[in-house]
Amino acid sequence: MRLKLATLLVVLSVSAALAQTWPPLPAKGFVSGRPATDQDVADGNAVFVLKTHGIYFGKPVNMIIPQYAYLKRGDKPVPVIVIQAEQERSIKIFGVRGLDGEEFVAKEPELQLLGAQPPG
């Protein structure tokens, strides 16, 4: 009985996330086609900077930015907008902003990219 109830709660949580009303993608407030700088972070256009000893080392990921995505956190996907994507060697790192404005840094396996059209 408890297992059925827990399963039902998970299904309802996922369904609620999937039924999310998505805002339009922003026209500014993101970084695309180049690595983010300290100024981008200060201006709110990026979440992180890949830099060591004063040298930026991130390479931009060739993808549409901004775009919609789900961030896999716990048992409930979090709707986010990708505002930054950089790569170092084979590791892709994303700066994302939740619909509530909270910012996260995520690796590729933690995201489900959804594209530039509002899901659903």
DSSP state of 118: P
107, 91 contact by CB (below 8 A)? yes
- Six token digits for residue 83: 């505002």
Could you read off the pLDDT tens digit of each residue along the chain, which spans 120 residues? 555 544 444 444 444 555 579 999 999 999 999 999 999 999 999 999 999 999 999 999 999 999 999 999 989 999 999 999 999 999 999 999 999 999 999 999 999 999 999 998
Q: Would you list the DSSP string of 44-66?
A: TS-S---EETTEE--EE-SS-SS
Residue whose tokens read 């900077």: 49
- Phi and psi angles of residue 85, each rounded to the nearest 5 degrees, phi first: -150, 120
